[in-house]
Amino acid sequence: MKPAGAYTVTDRPNPHVRRARDIMRAHPEVKDYFGVYPLTALCIIGVVALQLGIAYMLRSASWPIVLGAAWLVGAVASHSLFVLIHDAAHDLIVPSKAWNKFFGILCNVGQGMPTAMSFRTFHLLHHSHLDEYDYDGDLAFESEARWVGSSPVRKVLWFVAFPIIQMFRPMRIKRPFLDGWLVVNVVAIAAVDYAIWLTCGSAGLAYVVLSMMFGVGFHPLGARWVQEHYSFNDAQETYSYYGFVNRVAFNIGYHNEHHDLVKVPWVHLPRIKAAAPEFYDQLYAHRSYWRLFVRFLFDRDLTLFSRVTRDRHGADSSAPPIELRNAA
């Protein structure tokens, strides 16, 4: 049993490397789903247009209406834009890296915050250094996890502050991240926010920014950050979600499938599960973000330390992949 207030440490290698190899050996047809999906660009334009249109309609709205619209509608739209940023980070929209970066920044237009380029850097590290504390920004600071602890109140506060916390976690990562594209991202979104303020007023700009805050924060959709890698089964590091939200969140719930085959765009991820059911049907998976959200808040055994970590230099590359067990 792990000590209280500490991550679970494993000496096993990244399980997705082995499973990807096994899936492609057993089902070589999955390679047909590798590549770009240009229609994602139209999805980005549509969701951004929706966000800006609502911001304009709310230009004279009262603050309760702005808050309600941001929580009920904007959070869903902004969360979807985060998913599309995710595909852009993996260069799954068009063949050009530069154009994928452009589409990532375009997603930020509907969110009001310049996150796309920093996310691109640290998300790719998350894949190549899964659960390594010094390189995986998806892991909480140890001090952050200790402060939150098992308190439901502090978990609520953590969810509220999570969009801000995410901006500071890269400080732990041992890689430089400042580049020209990051500067372009910041300048472009600052200019767009100013234009939104001129056109839609404070209420419209507040709607866009609050949508982003709710989309990754205190909202059932915020449970996705718990769903993906928090431990619900000692045999797993990554978890998928198979529920109706995938229909409006571009299949982001198919997280094991994504980690296994990162060159498959969102539209084809369900086909990976369907093509290789023997690799996924035995894994623990979530079916409800609402249930997960409430469970995380009130289950004192679930904390920010409910994660696996590994030391790249100490990992046993000869160890077998993590055993698959039946979902609870």
CA atoms within 13 Å, Cβ hemisphere of 294:
3
Higher pLDDT, 234 or 238: 238
Confidence tier at 143 by pLDDT (50, 70, 90): very high
Residues 6+ apart with CB under 8 A from 159: 217, 218, 219, 222
Give the H/E segment covering residue 308. Answer: strand 308-310
Task: Output the pLDDT for position 173.
Answer: 82
In angstroms, rounded to a whole number, what is the distance separating the alpha carbons of residues 152 and 148? 9
Q: What is the pLDDT of residues 205-233, one digit of tens each?
A: 999 999 999 999 999 999 999 999 999 98
Distance in angstroms (rounded) separating the CA atoms of residues 131 and 312: 9
DSSP for 191-242 reads HHHHHHHHHHHHHHHHHHHHHHHHHTSSSGGGGHHHHHHS-SSTT-S--EE-
Query: Higher pLDDT residue, 135 or 176?
Result: 135
Predicted confidence at residue 320, as pLDDT, reads 38
Pairing of strands 285-286, 240-241: parallel
At 311 the pLDDT is: 78
Q: Which residue has the tokens 């086909």?
A: 271
Q: What is the pLDDT of residue 312?
A: 60
pTM of the model: 0.89
pLDDT digits (tens, 9 = 90+) for 25-68: 999 999 999 999 999 999 999 999 999 999 999 999 999 999 99
Per-residue model confidence (pLDDT) at position 3: 52
Helix axes 152-168, 289-298, angle to 10 degrees: 110
